[in-house]
Amino acid sequence: MSDWPPKPENQTDKIQQPMQPTGPEWKLLEKAVLASVEEQRRARRWGIFFKFLTFAYLVFIIVALGKGCSSSPTDASTTSGSHLAVVDVIGTIAADKQSVNSTNTNKALKKAFANKDSKAVVLNINSPGGSPVQSDEIWQEIRYLKKEYPTKKLYAVIGDTGASGAYYIASAADEIIVNPSSLVGSIGVIMPNYGVNNLMQKLGVEDRTMTSGENKAILSMTQPVDAAQKAHVQGVLDNVHSHFINAVKQGRGNKLKSQDPAIFSGLFWTGEQAVALGIADRTGSLQNLKRELKTDKAVNYTIEHNPLESILGRMGASFGEGIATSISQQLKTENNTTLQ
C-alpha cells in the first residue's frame, strides 16, 4: 500500500517544535526589549497625563472667558438699592437665542418684578416685531406678573420703532412712552409669498413635487395660486390678527381714543400721532422717566445671547473629543503591546 498521501496520525513525530532560544545573549536581549516596552508605556502615561492637564487648562480658560463675557450687562441678582429695572426688547422677535425670545425675556421680567428694590419695570423697546407666538407669550407673562405684583408699574419706552409684535408686547404695559418721531403700530399679520411659476416656464423648469395630501403643497412658489387654499390661509392670518387686536384692546382698554378700524389695519404712525390715537400715552424717554421716578440708577435685567459662548462651547467640545480619541488610541496601543 502506498504511503501517499501521508496520514496525520503518522506524522506527529515528524512535526518540528519551534526552537526555544536559550543562552545569556537571549536573556540579555529579552531584558532590553522589556525595558524598552516599559519605557514606552511610561512615556504614554505621561503623555496622557499632560493631555488631561492641557484639556483641564483649556476648560478653565473657556469658563473664565464665558464669565468674563457675561450674558447680562449688569448682575441684577446682586443689585441692591432702589433702581429702575430695565428689560430690553431690541431687534427681531423670534424663538432662536440670537433674537428677542419669550424664554429669556420672561425670565428677565420675572427677576425684575421680584426684586424688592426695583421701583418700576421698564420695557426698553426698539423692534419691528416678529413672531406672534413669542410676542403673545411675553404679553401673557406680563399680564400674570402685573397680577402678582399689583403695586409695581410697568412702563414701555419705545425708541425708534415699536411695531407689530413689539407693540403687541408694549400694549400690556401700564404706560407706553414714545419719542415724537418713533414709529408705532403696524397692528397686523403678514405672511410673505412669491410665485415663480411663469419664470420657471420660460426657463423650461418643471415642478415635480409629490405630496400625499391635496393641500400639502399649499402656497407653493412653483404653482399657480389656488383660490380655496388662498382663502384658507387668509382665514388663518385673520384669526391670528384677531388675537392681536384683542390683546391690544385688553391692554389699552379705554385709553384708545379712536374707534377707527384703521388702527388695526397694519398702518403705523409717529409717536406724536400714536398719542393722539391713544395707542401710546405720552412722549418722553427713559432718562425722563428716571427723573420722574426720582432715581438715577437703572439696572438692566436683559438676558442676552453671547455668540462667543457658543463658539467657545463648540471649541471645547471639539477639543475634548480630539483629546478623548487620542487617549483612547494610546491606551489601545499600550494594551496591545506585548513581547512575542
User: Domain containing 127 — which CATH number?
Assistant: 3.90.226.10
> What pLDDT shows up at residue 30?
72
| Residues 182/158, Cβ–Cβ less than 8 Å | yes
**Region of poorest pLDDT, from 36-40, 91-95, 124-128:** 36-40
> What pLDDT shows up at residue 7?
61
Domain membership of residue 49 (yes or no) is: yes
Do 149 and 298 belong together in one domain? yes
User: What is the average pLDDT value for the chain, to the nearest integer?
Assistant: 84
> What pLDDT shows up at residue 103?
96
| Three-state DSSP class for residue 157 | strand
- With cell 420660460, the residue in question is 202
The sign one gets for the Cα dihedral 55, 61, 64, 65 is: negative
Do 323 and 269 belong together in one domain? no
Do 86 and 175 belong together in one domain? yes
Which of the four pLDDT bands, split at 50, 70 and 90, describes residue 326?
A: low
Do 295 and 327 belong together in one domain? no
More confident residue, 215 or 337: 215
Q: What is the number of residues in the chain?
A: 340
Structurally, the chain folds into a number of domains equal to 2
Do 39 and 82 belong together in one domain? no
Domain membership of residue 93 (yes or no) is: yes
- The CA distances from residue 339 to 8, 19, 30, 33, in Å, are 32, 17, 9, 8
> What pLDDT shows up at residue 72?
47
- With cell 508605556, the residue in question is 41
User: The domain containing residue 151 runs over which residues?
Assistant: 72-187+262-305
**Is pLDDT at 73 greater than 50 in this prediction?**
no
Q: Which three cell numbers stand for residue 324?
A: 478623548
Do 180 and 317 belong together in one domain? no
- Cα separation, 228 vs 240, in Å, equals 19
Domain membership of residue 117 (yes or no) is: yes
Do 174 and 83 belong together in one domain? yes
Do 156 and 300 belong together in one domain? yes
* pLDDT tens track for 302-321: 997 665 555 555 555 565 56
| Residues 256/278, Cβ–Cβ less than 8 Å | yes
**Region of poorest pLDDT, from 101-105, 204-208, 257-261:** 257-261
Do 83 and 133 belong together in one domain? yes
| Residues 330/44, Cβ–Cβ less than 8 Å | yes
* pLDDT tens track for 106-136: 999 999 999 999 999 999 999 999 999 999 9
Domain membership of residue 91 (yes or no) is: yes
> What pLDDT shows up at residue 24?
72
Do 51 and 143 belong together in one domain? no
| Residues 184/269, Cβ–Cβ less than 8 Å | yes
Do 150 and 138 belong together in one domain? yes
Domain membership of residue 131 (yes or no) is: yes
Q: Report the phi/psi class of residue 197: left, alpha or beta, with left for phi > 0 and alpha for psi in -120 to 50.
A: alpha
Dmax over CA atoms of the chain, in Å, equals 125
> What pLDDT shows up at residue 275?
97
Do 43 and 134 belong together in one domain? no
| Residues 244/185, Cβ–Cβ less than 8 Å | no
* pLDDT tens track for 212-242: 999 999 989 999 999 999 999 999 999 999 9
> What pLDDT shows up at residue 17?
56
% pLDDT > 70, the chain: 75
